[in-house]
Structure 1
Amino acid sequence: MQNFWKMSFWYGGAVYEGYRQPVGAEDTVEWDYRENPTANQMMPFFISTKGRYIWSEEGFQIQFHRGEIRAEGRSEILLKGGFRTLRGAYLEAMKQHFPFHDIKLSKRFFEAPVYNTWIELTFYQEQEKVLEYARGILKHGLPAGILMIDDGWSPYYGKWQFRKDNFADAKGMIKQLHDMGFQVMLWLCPFITPDTVEYRETRDKHFLIETPEGKPRILEWWNGYSAALDLTNPEALQWLKAQLDDLQELGIDGFKFDAGDSLYYTEGDKLHKKATTDELSRLWAAFGEQYAFNELRVCFKTGGYSLMQRLCDKHHTWDEKGVGGLMTGMLLQGLTGHPFGSPDMIGGGEYLNFQECTNGKFDAELFVRYCEIAALMPVMQFSAAPWRILGKEDYQKVLTAMQVRGKYLPILLEVVQQAYETGEPIVRHMEYVFPGQGMERIMNQFMIGDRLLAAPIHEKGVTAREVWIPKGKWKLGEEVLESSGEKVVLEQKAGPLVLERI
Structure 2
Amino acid sequence: MKFTDGYWQLLPGVTELRPRQVDDVVATDDTLTVYASTAPITTRGDTLNRPLVTVTLHSPMDGVVGVTIEHFQGGLERGPRFELHRDAGDVKIATPDLTGQAVATLRSGQLEARVATAGDWSVEFVDVADGRVLTASTPRSVGVLTDADGRHFVREQLTMGVGEHVYGLGERFGALVKNGQTVDIWNADGGTASDQAYKNVPFYLSSAGYGVFVDQPERVSFEIGTEVVSRAQFSVEGQSLTYYVVAGPTPKDVLRRYTALTGRPARVPDWSYGLWLSTSFTTSYDEATVTHFVDGMAERDLPLSVFHFDCFWMRQFHWSDFIWDPATFPDPEGMLRRLKERGLRICVWINPYVAQRSVLFAEGKERGFLVKNPDGSVWQWNMWQAGMGLVDFTNPDAVAWYQDKLRGLLAQGVDCFKTDFGERIPTDVVWHDGSDPQRMHNYYTHLYNRSVFELLEAERGTGEAVLFARSATAGGQQYPVHWGGDCESTFVSMAESLRGGLSLALSGFGFWSHDIGGFEGVPDAAVFKRWLPFGLLSSHSRLHGSDSYRVPWAFDDEAVDVTRRFTRLKMSLMPYLAQAGRVAHEEGLPVMRPMVLEFPEDRGAATVDTQYMLGDALLVAPVFSAAGDVDVYVPEGTWTSWLTGERVTGPRWVRERHGFDSVPLYVRPGTVLPVGAHDDRPDRDHADGVTLHLVELPDGHRSTTRVPSGDGEAVFTVRRTGAEVRVRAVGAPGAWAVQPFGRDRVEVPAGVDEVVVAV
If the length of structure 2 is used for normalisation, what is the TM-score? 0.60
Q: Name 1:188's counterpart in structure 2.
A: 350
- 1:251–1:195 distance in 2 versus 1, CA, 3 Å: closer
> How far is the alpha carbon of 1:405 from its aligned partner?
2.6
Query: Pairwise CA RMSD of aligned residues?
Result: 2.1
1:472 match: secondary structure? strand
> How far is the alpha carbon of 1:177 from its aligned partner?
0.3
| Higher radius of gyration, 1 or 2 | 2
Match for 1:312: what amino acid?
G
1:304 match: secondary structure? helix
Question: Are 2:178 and 1:5 aligned?
Answer: no
Q: Name 2:717's counterpart in structure 1.
A: none
Quick check: 1:207–1:229 contact (8 Å CA) kept in 2? yes
Question: Are 2:199 and 1:41 aligned?
Answer: yes
Match for 2:647: what amino acid?
L
Quick check: 1:219–1:265 contact (8 Å CA) kept in 2? no
Which region of structure 1 is more displaced relative to structure 2, 148-157 or 86-95?
86-95
Match for 2:499: what amino acid?
T
Could you tell me how far apart the structure 1 residues matched to 2:640 and 2:390 are? 53
- 1:410–1:195 distance in 2 versus 1, CA, 3 Å: closer
Q: Render the CA deviation track for 1:363-407: whole Å, top value 9, x for unaligned.
A: 111111111211110011013333342122343233333344344
Tell me which of 523, 535, 551 is aligned to 1:374.
535
Tell me which of 338, 341, 344 is aligned to 2:512.
341
> How far is the alpha carbon of 1:77 from its aligned partner?
4.2
> How far is the alpha carbon of 1:225 from its aligned partner?
3.8
> How far is the alpha carbon of 1:484 from its aligned partner?
4.1
Tell me which of 417, 434, 448 is aligned to 2:614.
448
Quick check: 2:255–2:506 contact (8 Å CA) kept in 1? yes
> How far is the alpha carbon of 1:230 from its aligned partner?
0.9
Identity %: 20
Tell me which of 461, 473, 483 is aligned to 1:300.
473
Q: Name 2:662's counterpart in structure 1.
A: 495
Could you tell me how far apart the structure 2 residues matched to 1:371 and 1:123 are? 21
Match for 2:622: what amino acid?
P
Q: Render the CA deviation track for 1:63-118: whole Å, top value 9, x for unaligned.
A: 1223322210145242526522322222222223x1316x25322111x1111112
Could you tell me how far apart the structure 2 residues matched to 1:21 and 1:136 are? 39
> How far is the alpha carbon of 1:316 from its aligned partner?
1.0
Could you tell me how far apart the structure 2 residues matched to 1:46 and 1:401 are? 34
Q: Render the CA deviation track for 1:5-52: whole Å, top value 9, x for unaligned.
A: 12411111130x24322034xxx2212225557452221111111112
Q: Name 2:397's counterpart in structure 1.
A: 235
Could you tell me how far apart the structure 1 residues matched to 2:387 and 2:579 are? 45
Q: Name 1:474's counterpart in structure 2.
A: 639
Larger relative contact order (Cα-Cα within 8 Å, sequence gap ≥ 6): 1
Which region of structure 1 is more displaced relative to structure 2, 309-318 or 390-399?
390-399
Match for 1:218: what amino acid?
Q
Question: Are 2:591 and 1:436 aligned?
Answer: no
- 1:162–1:34 distance in 2 versus 1, CA, 3 Å: closer
Q: Name 1:30's counterpart in structure 2.
A: 182
User: Equivalent residues in 2 for 1:340-359 (5 A)?
Assistant: 340-343=511-514, 345-350=515-520, 353-354=521-522
Report how many residues are paired.
Answer: 478
Match for 1:19: what amino acid?
G
Match for 2:249: what amino acid?
R
Which structure 2 residue ranges, 5 or more long, are not aligned? 1-154, 190-195, 457-464, 670-759
Q: Name 1:310's counterpart in structure 2.
A: 483
Q: Render the CA deviation track for 1:459-485: whole Å, top value 9, x for unaligned.
A: x23323221111122211453535241
Quick check: 1:463–1:491 contact (8 Å CA) kept in 2? yes
Which region of structure 1 is more displaced relative to structure 2, 284-293 or 68-77?
68-77
Could you tell me how far apart the structure 1 residues matched to 2:598 and 2:284 are? 46
Match for 1:501: what amino acid?
R
> How far is the alpha carbon of 1:217 from its aligned partner?
0.5
Q: Name 2:651's counterpart in structure 1.
A: 485
Could you tell me how far apart the structure 1 residues matched to 2:479 and 2:186 are? 25
> How far is the alpha carbon of 1:311 from its aligned partner?
0.7
Q: Render the CA deviation track for 1:415-456: whole Å, top value 9, x for unaligned.
A: 112212222111111111111111110011111121111112
- 1:287–1:81 distance in 2 versus 1, CA, 3 Å: closer
Match for 1:54: what amino acid?
V
> How far is the alpha carbon of 1:300 from its aligned partner?
1.7
Could you tell me how far apart the structure 2 residues matched to 1:446 and 1:73 are? 34
Q: Name 1:208's counterpart in structure 2.
A: 370
Q: Render the CA deviation track for 1:226-274: whole Å, top value 9, x for unaligned.
A: 111111111112112222122211111121111111xx22214122113
Quick check: 1:285–1:302 contact (8 Å CA) kept in 2? no
- 1:86–1:200 distance in 2 versus 1, CA, 3 Å: same
Question: Are 2:441 and 1:277 aligned?
Answer: yes
Structure (1/2) with the larger strand percentage: 2
